[in-house]
Amino acid sequence: MKFSTKLRELRKLKGFTQEELAEILSVSFQTVSKWENDVSMPDVGLLPVIAECFGVSIDELLDYNSAQRKNEKKEIAKEVHEKINAGNMKEAYDFLNEKIERYSSDVKLNHLLAAITYKLAQESDGEDKVSYLQKAIQRAETTIKLDNGNAPQSAQAKMCIGYCLRELGLKEQAEEVAQNMPSMFSSRE
Q: Which tens digits make up the pLDDT trace of 76-115?
A: 999 999 999 999 999 999 999 999 988 888 899 999 999 9
CA distance 102 to 5: 18
pTM of the model: 0.68
CB-based contacts of 14, cutoff 8 Å, min separation 6? 53, 54
Residue numbers of the chain with a pLDDT score lower than 70: 1, 149-150, 182-189
**What is the reported pLDDT for 9?**
93
CB-based contacts of 169, cutoff 8 Å, min separation 6? none
